[in-house]
Amino acid sequence: MSREPLAAIHEDPGWCGARSGVEVAYASRTQQAHREAAWQHYDAAHGEWLPVRRDAEHADGAVTRAPRATLGCQNPEGRYLMSREVPGLAGRTAVASVSGAVVLAHGGRSVSTDPVTRVQPAVLRMVPFARAIRHAMRGSRVAVYRPRFGLRGWNGELQSPVADLREVLDCIGTRFGPVPVVLVGHSMGARAALRTAGHPLVAAVAGLAPWLPSSEPVDQLAGRRILLAHGTADRVTRPADTWAYAAHARLITEVAAIEVQRGDHALLRRAPLWHRLATDFCRVSFGLHSTGAVTVAFRRAAGNQDRPVL
């Protein structure tokens, strides 16, 4: 393994060699001085996490890459699932200090059994969202997760990312107990997040440029706060499908919809606005103060008014 820039190592969601890697930052204003806390690596032979310096270099020139203050999680079959980064915290202190979590779900393809890699655009697209949400949630004791699905495709009845996302939620429950989780998904990831909304930990779901075929169920959304945002310039997924889904879901739960003028599917055009929608939704969902467009959208939805156009 060749040496990589530290910035790339920090943002790489798959450093642990897991099928579903995850980057999690514990957002706390008081923890910023400890961001260079001890790093660890997973010793598979002994089944434990061992400390290692970030720049540790082995005799063969390889560099050990691993997250800070990492806690691993395995599924019942013993397959390593994910890790989390909690600057300045470790062990029981970290677990006790987390009061909620945000999980970002990246996009993909309708059909593909190719493995997801850390450099694919759909994965990298979530990096600035994770940073923005982490900043907006600082001091709130909310962890921010950026998992990587195992396969690129939805794959019909297999619903590949849904199983991955449920495992991530189960892992959060195992580590932290019944803490509320907000899901923020893009495209295929939004579809997976909405399908997974019935998980007992999920409190709210945001779908950005979601892929929502007409057959999508909505019963699992009951009791959850839902935000759907779609750009008028999206040529990959259909805004009309999103508005139809929103109308159907409103029969079940609280749903707000936002139309983004000139917004594209990749969320690159008017990117700051997309980031604000995600951060505002997270703050609103965790009961934190927000006066942004998301708050306005939910007020309009409650009054049966038209969705806001930004």
Q: What is the pLDDT of residues 48-67, one digit of tens each?
A: 333 333 333 344 444 333 23
- Overall average pLDDT of the 279-304 stretch: 93
Residue 101: Cβ within 10 Å count: 26
What phi and psi, each to the nearest 5 degrees, are found at residue 131?
Answer: -65, -45
Give the pLDDT of residue 291: 82
Gap between the Cα atoms of 2 and 270, Å rounded: 36
Q: Which residue has the higher pLDDT, 143 or 60?
A: 143
- Overall average pLDDT of the 25-42 stretch: 32
Give the pLDDT of residue 95: 61
* Amino acid occupying residue 47: G
Tell me if 133 sits within 8 A of 164, measured CB to CB: no
**195 has a pLDDT exceeding 60:** yes
For the domain spanning 92-302, the CATH number is: 3.40.50.1820
Give the pLDDT of residue 51: 36
Q: Which residue has the higher pLDDT, 81 or 106?
A: 106
Give the pLDDT of residue 97: 83
Rg (CA), the chain: 19
- Overall average pLDDT of the 110-119 stretch: 95
249 burial level (CB within 10 Å; 0-12, 13-18, 19+):
buried
CA dihedral of 308, 197, 142, 131, whole degrees rounded to 10:
-60
pTM for the model stands at: 0.75
**39 has a pLDDT exceeding 70:** no
Give the pLDDT of residue 93: 38
- Overall average pLDDT of the 212-234 stretch: 97
Q: Which residue has the higher pLDDT, 119 or 43?
A: 119
The number of angstroms, rounded, from the C-alpha of 289 to the middle of its chain's C-alpha atoms is 21
Residue 32: Cβ within 10 Å count: 11
Residue 47 half-sphere exposure, CB side, CA atoms within 13 Å? 4
Give the pLDDT of residue 289: 87
Give the pLDDT of residue 130: 95
Q: Which of 223, 220, 232 is nearest to 191 (CA)?
A: 220
Question: pLDDT grade, residue 96 (50/70/90)?
Answer: low
